[in-house]
Amino acid sequence: MRVLAAVDKFRGTATAAEVARAIGHACWQLDHECVEVGVADGGEGTLDVLGGPNRISRVIGPLGETVEAEWRLSRDVAVIEMAKASGLLLAGGREGNDALSATTSGTGELIDLALDAGAKKIIVCLGGSATTDGGLGALRSIRAPQRLRGVELLVACDVTTTFVDAAPVFGPQKGATPAQVGLLVGRLERLAQMYLQDYGFDVRSIPGTGAAGGLAGALVALGGKLMPGFDLVADELDLHDKVAAADFVITGEGFLDEQSFRGKVVGGMQLIAKQAGKPIAAIVGDAEPEVVDRIEHVALVTTFGRERAMQETRTCIEEAATMLLRDRAG
Protein backbone atom coordinates (compact mmCIF):
# COMPACT_ATOMS: atom_id res chain seq x y z
CA MET A 1 0.00 0.00 0.00
CA ARG A 2 0.94 3.64 -0.43
CA VAL A 3 0.36 5.11 2.99
CA LEU A 4 0.23 8.79 3.91
CA ALA A 5 1.10 9.53 7.55
CA ALA A 6 -0.19 13.10 8.06
CA VAL A 7 -0.20 13.76 11.78
CA ASP A 8 -0.10 16.46 14.45
CA LYS A 9 2.17 16.40 17.50
CA PHE A 10 1.33 14.54 20.69
CA ARG A 11 1.91 17.48 23.02
CA GLY A 12 4.64 16.77 25.55
CA THR A 13 5.52 13.31 24.30
CA ALA A 14 6.21 13.35 20.53
CA THR A 15 6.62 15.95 17.82
CA ALA A 16 4.62 15.68 14.60
CA ALA A 17 7.75 14.51 12.78
CA GLU A 18 8.37 11.82 15.42
CA VAL A 19 4.78 10.57 15.16
CA ALA A 20 5.01 10.39 11.37
CA ARG A 21 8.38 8.62 11.61
CA ALA A 22 6.96 5.96 13.94
CA ILE A 23 4.13 5.26 11.49
CA GLY A 24 6.62 5.19 8.63
CA HIS A 25 8.71 2.58 10.46
CA ALA A 26 5.65 0.38 10.89
CA CYS A 27 4.96 0.69 7.16
CA TRP A 28 8.56 -0.22 6.31
CA GLN A 29 8.40 -3.36 8.47
CA LEU A 30 5.27 -4.49 6.61
CA ASP A 31 6.74 -3.58 3.20
CA HIS A 32 4.39 -0.64 2.54
CA GLU A 33 5.42 2.69 1.08
CA CYS A 34 4.92 5.68 3.37
CA VAL A 35 5.00 9.44 2.91
CA GLU A 36 5.63 11.06 6.31
CA VAL A 37 4.19 14.54 6.85
CA GLY A 38 4.05 16.50 10.08
CA VAL A 39 0.93 18.70 10.13
CA ALA A 40 -0.33 21.53 12.36
CA ASP A 41 -3.49 23.59 12.62
CA GLY A 42 -1.94 27.02 12.20
CA GLY A 43 -1.02 27.53 15.85
CA GLU A 44 1.82 26.13 17.93
CA GLY A 45 4.07 23.86 15.89
CA THR A 46 3.17 25.32 12.49
CA LEU A 47 6.63 26.82 12.02
CA ASP A 48 8.17 23.39 12.52
CA VAL A 49 5.96 21.57 10.00
CA LEU A 50 6.50 24.29 7.38
CA GLY A 51 10.21 23.65 7.38
CA GLY A 52 11.36 24.75 10.81
CA PRO A 53 13.12 27.95 11.87
CA ASN A 54 16.30 28.95 10.09
CA ARG A 55 16.68 32.44 11.56
CA ILE A 56 16.81 33.92 15.05
CA SER A 57 16.23 37.63 15.61
CA ARG A 58 16.37 39.75 18.75
CA VAL A 59 13.07 41.60 19.08
CA ILE A 60 10.90 43.21 21.74
CA GLY A 61 9.11 40.61 23.83
CA PRO A 62 5.54 40.85 25.10
CA LEU A 63 6.49 42.80 28.24
CA GLY A 64 9.16 44.99 26.64
CA GLU A 65 12.15 42.77 27.28
CA THR A 66 14.43 41.55 24.49
CA VAL A 67 13.77 38.00 23.28
CA GLU A 68 15.35 35.80 20.65
CA ALA A 69 12.57 34.80 18.26
CA GLU A 70 12.86 31.97 15.77
CA TRP A 71 11.32 32.37 12.31
CA ARG A 72 11.81 31.10 8.78
CA LEU A 73 12.64 32.54 5.38
CA SER A 74 13.02 30.25 2.38
CA ARG A 75 12.40 30.90 -1.32
CA ASP A 76 10.83 34.30 -0.65
CA VAL A 77 8.36 32.78 1.86
CA ALA A 78 8.55 33.86 5.50
CA VAL A 79 6.85 31.92 8.30
CA ILE A 80 6.33 33.69 11.62
CA GLU A 81 4.77 32.23 14.78
CA MET A 82 3.66 35.25 16.76
CA ALA A 83 4.02 33.30 20.02
CA LYS A 84 7.77 33.18 19.45
CA ALA A 85 7.90 36.97 19.86
CA SER A 86 4.69 37.92 21.69
CA GLY A 87 3.59 34.73 23.41
CA LEU A 88 2.02 34.20 26.80
CA LEU A 89 4.73 31.73 27.81
CA LEU A 90 7.36 34.42 27.22
CA ALA A 91 5.44 36.63 29.66
CA GLY A 92 5.51 33.99 32.38
CA GLY A 93 2.04 32.65 31.72
CA ARG A 94 -1.23 34.08 32.99
CA GLU A 95 0.23 34.87 36.41
CA GLY A 96 3.30 36.69 35.09
CA ASN A 97 1.61 38.62 32.31
CA ASP A 98 0.63 42.29 32.33
CA ALA A 99 -2.57 42.15 30.30
CA LEU A 100 -2.74 45.90 29.74
CA SER A 101 0.82 46.50 28.57
CA ALA A 102 1.57 43.27 26.71
CA THR A 103 2.58 44.20 23.16
CA THR A 104 2.81 42.62 19.71
CA SER A 105 5.77 44.86 18.81
CA GLY A 106 8.12 41.91 18.39
CA THR A 107 5.82 40.23 15.90
CA GLY A 108 5.75 43.45 13.87
CA GLU A 109 9.54 43.55 13.98
CA LEU A 110 9.68 40.04 12.52
CA ILE A 111 7.32 41.07 9.71
CA ASP A 112 9.52 44.10 9.07
CA LEU A 113 12.63 41.90 8.96
CA ALA A 114 10.90 39.58 6.49
CA LEU A 115 10.12 42.54 4.26
CA ASP A 116 13.72 43.75 4.48
CA ALA A 117 14.89 40.28 3.45
CA GLY A 118 12.74 40.32 0.32
CA ALA A 119 9.88 38.02 1.32
CA LYS A 120 7.06 37.89 -1.22
CA LYS A 121 4.76 35.78 0.95
CA ILE A 122 4.51 36.17 4.71
CA ILE A 123 2.60 33.61 6.78
CA VAL A 124 1.78 34.75 10.30
CA CYS A 125 0.61 31.99 12.64
CA LEU A 126 -1.56 33.23 15.51
CA GLY A 127 -2.18 31.55 18.84
CA GLY A 128 -0.67 31.54 22.30
CA SER A 129 -0.48 35.32 22.54
CA ALA A 130 0.04 37.37 25.69
CA THR A 131 -1.53 40.42 24.08
CA THR A 132 -4.75 42.36 23.70
CA ASP A 133 -3.24 45.43 22.06
CA GLY A 134 -5.29 45.14 18.89
CA GLY A 135 -2.07 44.64 16.94
CA LEU A 136 -1.05 48.27 17.43
CA GLY A 137 2.42 47.30 18.63
CA ALA A 138 2.99 45.22 15.52
CA LEU A 139 1.63 47.90 13.22
CA ARG A 140 3.95 50.54 14.70
CA SER A 141 6.96 48.25 14.34
CA ILE A 142 6.47 47.87 10.58
CA ARG A 143 8.40 50.89 9.39
CA ALA A 144 6.77 51.15 5.97
CA PRO A 145 3.44 49.30 5.99
CA GLN A 146 2.87 50.23 2.34
CA ARG A 147 5.51 47.63 1.44
CA LEU A 148 2.96 44.97 2.32
CA ARG A 149 0.92 45.91 -0.75
CA GLY A 150 3.33 43.93 -2.90
CA VAL A 151 3.35 40.93 -0.57
CA GLU A 152 0.94 38.06 -0.02
CA LEU A 153 0.18 38.31 3.71
CA LEU A 154 -1.58 35.21 5.03
CA VAL A 155 -2.84 35.02 8.61
CA ALA A 156 -3.53 31.60 10.13
CA CYS A 157 -6.52 31.93 12.43
CA ASP A 158 -8.63 29.23 14.08
CA VAL A 159 -11.22 31.36 15.91
CA THR A 160 -14.18 33.43 14.72
CA THR A 161 -14.07 35.98 17.54
CA THR A 162 -14.51 39.55 16.30
CA PHE A 163 -12.12 42.37 17.10
CA VAL A 164 -13.64 44.02 20.18
CA ASP A 165 -14.77 40.68 21.63
CA ALA A 166 -11.12 39.65 21.95
CA ALA A 167 -11.02 41.41 25.34
CA PRO A 168 -13.89 39.60 27.12
CA VAL A 169 -13.30 36.26 25.37
CA PHE A 170 -9.52 35.95 25.72
CA GLY A 171 -8.49 38.68 28.18
CA PRO A 172 -9.12 36.64 31.35
CA GLN A 173 -6.97 33.80 29.97
CA LYS A 174 -4.13 36.31 29.72
CA GLY A 175 -4.49 37.56 33.28
CA ALA A 176 -6.89 40.48 32.77
CA THR A 177 -9.17 41.33 35.71
CA PRO A 178 -12.81 42.25 35.03
CA ALA A 179 -11.91 45.93 35.35
CA GLN A 180 -9.00 45.52 32.94
CA VAL A 181 -11.25 43.74 30.46
CA GLY A 182 -13.42 46.87 30.40
CA LEU A 183 -10.37 49.02 29.69
CA LEU A 184 -9.25 46.67 26.93
CA VAL A 185 -12.70 46.78 25.31
CA GLY A 186 -12.47 50.57 25.18
CA ARG A 187 -9.00 50.40 23.69
CA LEU A 188 -10.10 47.97 20.98
CA GLU A 189 -13.13 50.10 20.11
CA ARG A 190 -10.86 53.14 19.62
CA LEU A 191 -8.42 51.12 17.53
CA ALA A 192 -11.22 49.76 15.36
CA GLN A 193 -12.26 53.33 14.60
CA MET A 194 -8.65 54.25 13.82
CA TYR A 195 -8.22 51.29 11.45
CA LEU A 196 -11.44 52.26 9.69
CA GLN A 197 -10.30 55.84 9.24
CA ASP A 198 -6.71 55.05 8.25
CA TYR A 199 -7.12 51.87 6.22
CA GLY A 200 -10.79 51.67 5.27
CA PHE A 201 -11.47 48.33 7.01
CA ASP A 202 -14.16 47.92 9.66
CA VAL A 203 -12.47 45.14 11.59
CA ARG A 204 -15.36 45.02 14.07
CA SER A 205 -17.53 43.19 11.56
CA ILE A 206 -15.03 40.59 10.33
CA PRO A 207 -15.04 37.16 12.05
CA GLY A 208 -11.61 36.14 13.26
CA THR A 209 -10.16 39.62 13.68
CA GLY A 210 -10.10 39.14 17.46
CA ALA A 211 -7.51 36.37 17.19
CA ALA A 212 -4.30 36.98 19.16
CA GLY A 213 -5.91 39.88 21.01
CA GLY A 214 -6.83 41.71 17.83
CA LEU A 215 -3.53 41.24 15.99
CA ALA A 216 -5.54 39.54 13.26
CA GLY A 217 -7.56 42.73 12.83
CA ALA A 218 -4.47 44.89 12.45
CA LEU A 219 -3.05 42.53 9.83
CA VAL A 220 -6.36 42.55 7.94
CA ALA A 221 -6.26 46.36 7.98
CA LEU A 222 -2.80 46.12 6.38
CA GLY A 223 -4.16 43.88 3.61
CA GLY A 224 -3.72 40.47 5.19
CA LYS A 225 -5.99 37.55 4.38
CA LEU A 226 -7.41 35.50 7.25
CA MET A 227 -7.36 31.76 6.60
CA PRO A 228 -8.32 28.78 8.76
CA GLY A 229 -5.00 27.55 10.09
CA PHE A 230 -5.37 23.95 8.97
CA ASP A 231 -6.42 24.98 5.45
CA LEU A 232 -3.39 27.24 5.13
CA VAL A 233 -1.05 24.46 6.25
CA ALA A 234 -2.78 21.96 3.96
CA ASP A 235 -2.19 24.23 0.98
CA GLU A 236 1.46 24.84 1.87
CA LEU A 237 2.12 21.10 2.30
CA ASP A 238 0.11 20.03 -0.79
CA LEU A 239 -1.93 17.68 1.37
CA HIS A 240 -4.76 17.36 -1.17
CA ASP A 241 -2.34 15.96 -3.76
CA LYS A 242 -0.65 13.71 -1.21
CA VAL A 243 -4.01 12.26 -0.13
CA ALA A 244 -5.02 11.69 -3.76
CA ALA A 245 -1.82 9.69 -4.34
CA ALA A 246 -2.29 7.48 -1.26
CA ASP A 247 -4.15 4.21 -0.80
CA PHE A 248 -4.61 4.71 2.94
CA VAL A 249 -4.27 7.76 5.19
CA ILE A 250 -3.23 7.65 8.84
CA THR A 251 -3.67 10.86 10.80
CA GLY A 252 -3.39 11.58 14.49
CA GLU A 253 -3.10 13.94 17.43
CA GLY A 254 -2.69 13.77 21.17
CA PHE A 255 -6.33 14.03 22.22
CA LEU A 256 -9.48 13.32 20.22
CA ASP A 257 -12.48 15.42 21.21
CA GLU A 258 -15.15 17.59 19.61
CA GLN A 259 -12.57 20.29 18.80
CA SER A 260 -10.66 17.75 16.70
CA PHE A 261 -13.43 18.10 14.10
CA ARG A 262 -13.54 21.91 14.21
CA GLY A 263 -10.43 23.10 12.42
CA LYS A 264 -7.92 20.70 13.95
CA VAL A 265 -5.72 18.20 12.11
CA VAL A 266 -7.74 14.99 12.51
CA GLY A 267 -10.99 16.56 11.32
CA GLY A 268 -9.27 18.41 8.51
CA MET A 269 -7.54 15.28 7.24
CA GLN A 270 -10.78 13.32 7.51
CA LEU A 271 -12.53 15.87 5.30
CA ILE A 272 -9.76 15.83 2.67
CA ALA A 273 -9.77 12.02 2.63
CA LYS A 274 -13.55 11.91 2.30
CA GLN A 275 -13.45 14.34 -0.63
CA ALA A 276 -10.81 12.18 -2.32
CA GLY A 277 -12.62 8.91 -1.55
CA LYS A 278 -9.69 7.56 0.47
CA PRO A 279 -9.89 5.45 3.64
CA ILE A 280 -8.53 7.09 6.77
CA ALA A 281 -7.88 6.15 10.38
CA ALA A 282 -6.33 7.97 13.31
CA ILE A 283 -3.88 7.23 16.09
CA VAL A 284 -4.56 9.34 19.17
CA GLY A 285 -3.23 9.51 22.70
CA ASP A 286 -6.66 9.41 24.27
CA ALA A 287 -10.25 10.10 23.21
CA GLU A 288 -13.44 11.52 24.65
CA PRO A 289 -16.19 8.85 24.72
CA GLU A 290 -18.56 11.20 22.86
CA VAL A 291 -16.46 11.18 19.68
CA VAL A 292 -15.11 7.64 19.48
CA ASP A 293 -17.49 6.80 16.64
CA ARG A 294 -16.54 9.82 14.51
CA ILE A 295 -13.43 8.24 12.97
CA GLU A 296 -11.76 4.83 13.00
CA HIS A 297 -8.89 5.11 15.47
CA VAL A 298 -6.56 3.51 17.96
CA ALA A 299 -6.29 5.32 21.31
CA LEU A 300 -2.95 4.62 22.97
CA VAL A 301 -4.23 4.99 26.55
CA THR A 302 -7.08 2.55 25.93
CA THR A 303 -4.93 0.06 24.05
CA PHE A 304 -1.66 0.13 25.98
CA GLY A 305 -2.50 1.76 29.31
CA ARG A 306 -1.78 5.32 30.38
CA GLU A 307 1.66 4.70 31.89
CA ARG A 308 3.09 2.95 28.84
CA ALA A 309 1.38 5.37 26.44
CA MET A 310 3.10 8.29 28.19
CA GLN A 311 6.52 6.67 28.67
CA GLU A 312 6.81 4.78 25.36
CA THR A 313 4.72 6.97 23.09
CA ARG A 314 6.61 6.43 19.85
CA THR A 315 6.76 2.64 20.33
CA CYS A 316 3.03 2.57 21.04
CA ILE A 317 2.33 4.68 17.94
CA GLU A 318 4.34 2.24 15.83
CA GLU A 319 2.42 -0.73 17.26
CA ALA A 320 -0.91 1.07 16.73
CA ALA A 321 0.03 1.76 13.11
CA THR A 322 0.91 -1.91 12.64
CA MET A 323 -2.55 -2.85 13.92
CA LEU A 324 -4.27 -0.47 11.50
CA LEU A 325 -2.15 -1.58 8.54
CA ARG A 326 -2.79 -5.27 9.16
CA ASP A 327 -6.52 -4.63 9.47
CA ARG A 328 -6.48 -2.65 6.23
CA ALA A 329 -4.51 -5.31 4.38
CA GLY A 330 -7.09 -7.91 5.42
Domains of the chain by start residue, with CATH: 2-39+237-329 (3.40.50.10350), 46-230 (3.90.1510.10)
| Res 105: pLDDT | 98
CB proximity list for 82: less than 8 A, separation 6 or greater:
104, 107, 124, 125, 126, 127, 128, 129, 212, 215
**Which residue ranges in the chain fall short of pLDDT 70?**
330
| Cβ count within 10 A of residue 98 | 17
| Res 49: pLDDT | 93
| Res 289: pLDDT | 95
DSSP annotation of 99: T
| Res 158: pLDDT | 82
| Res 44: pLDDT | 82
CA distance 249 to 263: 18
| Res 43: pLDDT | 85
